[in-house]
Amino acid sequence: EVQLVESGGDLVKPGGSIRLSCVASGLTFEYAWMTWVRQAPGKGLEWVGRIKSEVEGGTTDYAAPVKGRFTISRHDSQNTVFLQMNGLKKEDTAIYYCTTGTIGFAYWGQGSVVTVSP
């Protein structure tokens, strides 16, 4: 059974930084493309970015609102993907989900809450 477990969410001040982790189990992580999706309170889903598998270059893509501030990385030996968030803004307040799957986003974590507030 595939499981994704996010952690690291917290209350952060505007301009601050935080790193989220997502640990995966039950899949061959080194081949998985890992994606982060967020959901602001009472709002819809928003794609944040993704990282391809190392065998496919390990390259990253980001949504325009987070490009240059957020960085996705992976540590295959630990089955973990990270989301480093810098220069946080109030509008980054959201539940952050990691997701993956060979047929699309079939597997989701429970989400990690990031609140940006003074």
Partner 1 sequence: QSVLTQPPSTSGTPGQRVAISCSGSSSNIETNTVTWFQQLPGTAPKLLIYSNTQRPSGVPDRFSASKSGTSASLAISGLQSEDEADYYCATWDDTLNGWVFGGGTKLTVL
Q: In 10-100, where do the E strands start and end?
A: 11-12, 18-25, 34-39, 45-51, 60-62, 70-75, 80-85, 94-100
Is the Cβ of residue 104 or residue 118 nearer to partner 1 in the bound state?
104
CB 100 within 8 A of CB 108: no
Residues near partner 1 (CB under 8 A) are 35, 37, 44-47, 49-50, 61-64, 97, 99, 101, 103-106, 108-111
The CB density around residue 113, as the number of other CB atoms within 10 Å, is 14
CB 42 within 8 A of CB 57: no
Is the Cβ of residue 30 or residue 61 nearer to partner 1 in the bound state?
61
Is the Cβ of residue 11 or residue 106 nearer to partner 1 in the bound state?
106
**Size of the chain, expressed as the number of residues it contains:** 118
Q: How many CA atoms lie within 13 A of 98 on its CB side?
A: 28
Residue 30: CB minimum distance to partner 1, A:
22
Residue 97: CB minimum distance to partner 1, A:
6
Is the Cβ of residue 42 or residue 118 nearer to partner 1 in the bound state?
42
Residue 118: CB minimum distance to partner 1, A:
27
Residue 13: CB minimum distance to partner 1, A:
27
